[in-house]
Amino acid sequence: MNLVCDSDILDDYLLELNEVNYSKPIIIRKADELFNQSQTEIEKTKIAFEFVRDEISHSWDIQSTRVTCNASDVLHFKEGICYAKSHLLASLLRSQGIPTGFCYQRLMLFDTPEKVHCIHALNAIFFKSLNKWIRIDARGNKKGIDAQFSIEEEKLAFPINEELDEKGYPVIYAKPHPKTVAILEADTNALEMYNHYLP
């Protein structure tokens, strides 16, 4: 897939946002714990990716009703759905000066005859040393899902199945999509949100 940036200004992918609040003390402490000056941008990205993938639970997987949105809350409660986890990964990497954006896929939500689709979030990272964007998905692995960090080939959580009307969108957004943020801010029960209200 040929990825397309929604902004031509690379620094837009380093901005601090309400959802990507990397100046919060909890984010600073975690960044200090995860990273050091001797690490390359690729090493830092792999460390951050594996931390968010493995140490931050996906709310649906643990059947939690808690809704998190801002990176600091995701880190504090150690859980969130894919939108929220993408905010935390972006926050950790942007804190290190590594440009990070947001990408989306249209996936079948559950394997049911109703064929209900939803929008899934993942991240794209620009490596200056490689002069290219790489997509990674820190959703969290489980049976049937094996997302990995790779700079050579994408190893995302979900392959696109066009027969099921699924779609991968090529745009790399500098900010989380407003519809995904609105859902996280409006709902108070993650399980009901996941079942009925995802965009």
> What is the pLDDT confidence band of residue 111, given thresholds at 50, 70 and 90?
low
Which helix (H) or strand (E) covers residue 101, if one does? strand 100-108
> What is the pLDDT confidence band of residue 1, given thresholds at 50, 70 and 90?
confident
> Angle formed by the axes of helices 41-55 and 82-94, to 10°?
150
Q: How many CA atoms lie within 13 A of 183 on its CB side?
A: 23
What percent of the chain shows pLDDT beyond 90? 93
User: Would you say 189 and 20 are in contact if contact means Cβ atoms under 8 Å apart?
Assistant: no
**Residue spans per domain, the chain:** 4-197
User: Would you say 136 and 149 are in contact if contact means Cβ atoms under 8 Å apart?
Assistant: yes
For 162-191, what is the mean pLDDT? 96
pTM above 0.95, yes or no: yes
Burial 167-176 (b: 16+ CB within 10 A, else e): ebeeebbbbb
Per-residue model confidence as pLDDT tens digits over 73-100: 999 999 999 999 999 999 999 999 999 9
> What is the pLDDT confidence band of residue 109, given thresholds at 50, 70 and 90?
confident
Per-residue model confidence as pLDDT tens digits over 56-67: 999 999 999 999
Amino acid 136: pLDDT: 98
Task: Report the alpha-carbon distance of residue 29 to residue 2 in Å, rounded.
Answer: 36
Cross-strand partners of 118: 107
The secondary structure of 133-161 as a DSSP string is EEEE--S--BTTB-----SSS---S----
Sign of the alpha-carbon torsion through 30, 31, 32, 36: positive
Amino acid 113: pLDDT: 54
| Distant-in-sequence, close-in-space partners of 161: CB < 8 Å, separation ≥ 6 | 108
Residue type for 167, please?
K
Q: What is the mean pLDDT of the chain?
A: 96
The CATH number of the structural domain formed by 4-197 is 3.10.620.30
Task: Report the alpha-carbon distance of residue 199 to residue 191 in Å, rounded.
Answer: 14
Per-residue model confidence as pLDDT tens digits over 115-166: 789 999 999 999 999 999 999 999 999 999 999 999 999 999 999 999 889 9
